[in-house]
Structure 1
Amino acid sequence: MAGHSKFKNIMHRKGAQDKKRSAQFSKLSREITVAAKMGMPDPDMNPRLRAAVNAAKAQSMPKDNIQRAIDKASKGDGENYEEVRYEGYGPGGVAIIVEALTDNRNRTATNVRTAFSKNGGNLGASGAVSHGFERLGLIEYPGSVGDEDTVLEAAIEAGADDVESDGESHSVWTSVESLHEVARELERTLGEAEGVKLAWKPNLKVDVGEDSAATLFKLIDTLDDDDDVQTVWGNYEVSDAVMEKLG
């Protein structure tokens, strides 16, 4: 999930924690298996798998679950998933990119299209919005790891391109090619990251008001709840004042 960091605070509703956690583990397992199938089943030799394993650890996924997902790929077990990307517009003209791993393109396309149409958006053709984003590597740390200067210094030493800090979290941006190496260096100085992944960073952000934000978050929530959807990226910016009203 990408967007305003405080978005997570209003999405984790009471009574839904276990269900969300189980669904998240399922998605993480799927990504680990696909990454292992596409390259070596050794995280040290496979940057994408390394990133997937790091993401799973950051979500406190048990080691046995992680190893089981890798073993599935090594044994050739499980479904054959393919990567699919959907692009469209949400409420307020927000550009949205949806990444999925699916064993049934028709099912996934129908679910994604329905989510958009029922929540004030419309699904576009491939390339409809991705031209407004940059494909980069993203390494995420909690604010507790250190202040902005500390993280910035570590990121520069590690070879990162940029750092964004908001007091609650730090986002370290790298090129796709250097993600694995930078993540390794940062782990030595800052410890294990909360997230290591390939991301879509918007070139420009759209300021979203209260009315549009409520519907937009509903759309993103619906997409996130779909088992096939791995990540949702958007170019939206929501002010703290609007977040407080929605919260």
Structure 2
Amino acid sequence: MGRAFEYRRAAKEARWDKMSKVFPKLAKAITVAAKEGGTDPDMNPKLRAAIAAAKAQNMPKDNIDNALKRANGKDSADIKTIFYDGKAAHGTQIIVECATDNPTRTVANVKAIFNKNGGEILPSGSLSFMFSRKSVFEVSLPEQELEEIELELIDFGLDELEKNEESLFIYGDYTAFGTLSEGIEKLGLELKKGGLEYVPNTTIELNETQMNDVEKLLDKLEDDDDVQAVYTNIE
């Protein structure tokens, strides 16, 4: 009984720890999306995707509603999306997406994480030609044939489809976010998350030892409260 209790408690603490890190980031994404395009999800594809991502992580409805309310609050006006470029060992290129109400604090934290973990922050825009801004959606594996989905979504701006054991990934130009969102809804696909991401034009493959050299840096960046996403050129 004692071991079973300890296991359950450890599992619960792990879930709480994950929620304490993930939920604030999801809430901030909802607030930023609502500030940019309005608080009506029907009229704001980016907001619909942010809410879908929150629901996929079992974020409570109250948290989602509070994030939407903050979009109309005075404090939300200061939240800005900022990108930082950096590099790490073995040719690793990194773009860090942040949402912050205090850029001075955020850039200091990001710089410190790079410097303390074998990386280096670069001048803004240094990697703009190494990555492409894409609309990226993750949906649950559908019952429809992928060829059928591909043919349907081409008319909505589809560039590429990829899948793994759990999800189907839909890629398009960053300008096609709204139309691709409409196409996904039309096909009845279950949206897990969606957003504008930086996709590397050329990737690198790291072995286990090399990956260990850069993994700590990436983990520290992802753990920072202001960091919304970390994009790399790693395969």
Query: Shorter-chain-normalised TM-score: which range?
Result: 0.7 to 0.9
How far 1:70 sits from its partner (Å)? 0.8
Normalising by structure 2, we get a TM-score of 0.85
Which structure 1 segments of 5+ residues have no match?
A: 1-12, 238-247
Query: For this pair of structures, how many residues does the alignment match?
Result: 225
In structure 2, the residue matched to 1:228 is 226
Aligned-partner residue type, residue 47 of structure 2? L
Indicate the residue corresponding to 1:203 in structure 2. Answer: 201
Change (3 A) 1:177 1:156: same
Residues 39 and 86 of structure 1: is their aligned pair in 2 closer, same or farther, counting only changes over 3 Å? Answer: same
CA distance, structure 2, for counterparts of residue 36 and residue 102 of structure 1: 15
DSSP 3-state at the match of 1:67: helix
Q: Which one of 147, 172, 175 corresponds to residue 173 of structure 2?
A: 175
* Residue of structure 2 in register with 1:10 after alignment: none
Q: In 2, distance between residues paired with 1:99 and 1:75?
A: 23
Given that 1:86 and 1:97 are in contact with CA atoms closer than 8 Å, whether structure 2 keeps it comes out as: yes
Aligned-residue Cα RMSD (Å) equals 2.3
Shift of 1:79: 6.8
Tell me what 2:55 maps to. 57
The residue aligned with 1:44 is 42
Instruction: State which structure, 1 or 2, has the greater radius of gyration over its C-alpha atoms.
Output: 2
Find 1:71's aligned residue among 69, 91, 97. 69
Mean Cα deviation higher: 131-140 or 103-112? 103-112
Shift of 1:148: 4.3
Q: Is 1:132–1:203's contact at 8 Å kept on the other side of the alignment?
A: yes
Identity of aligned residues (%): 39
- Look up the SS of the partner of 1:131 in the other structure: coil
Q: Deviations over 1:204-223 (max 9, x none)?
A: 00111211201322111111
Report the counterpart of residue 6 of structure 2 in structure 1.
none
Q: 1:199 to 1:143 in 2, by over 3 A?
A: same
For residues 210 and 117 of structure 2, what CA distance do their matches in structure 1 show?
A: 10
Cα pair 2:159 2:173 within 8 Å, conserved: yes
Letter in 2 for 1:174: G
Distance 2:38 2:130 in 1: 33
Q: What is the CA–CA distance in structure 2 between the aligned matches of 1:169 and 1:150, rounded to whole Å?
A: 16
Contact 1:27 1:227 in 2 (8 A): yes
Measured in 2, the distance between the counterparts of 1:220 and 1:17 equals 21
Distance in 1, matches of 2:54 and 2:91, equals: 32
Structure 2: give runs of 5+ residues left out of the alignment: 1-9
Q: Which amino acid aligns with 2:226?
A: D
> Could you say if the C-alpha distance between residues 144 and 186 of structure 1 is closer, same or farther in structure 2, counting changes exceeding 3 Å?
closer
Find the residue that maps to 1:44 and give its secondary structure.
helix
Give the equivalent residue in structure 2 for 1:185.
183
Q: For 1:57-206, what aligned pairs fall within 5 Å after superposition?
A: 57-78=55-76, 80-143=78-141, 148-149=146-147, 151-156=149-154, 158-206=156-204
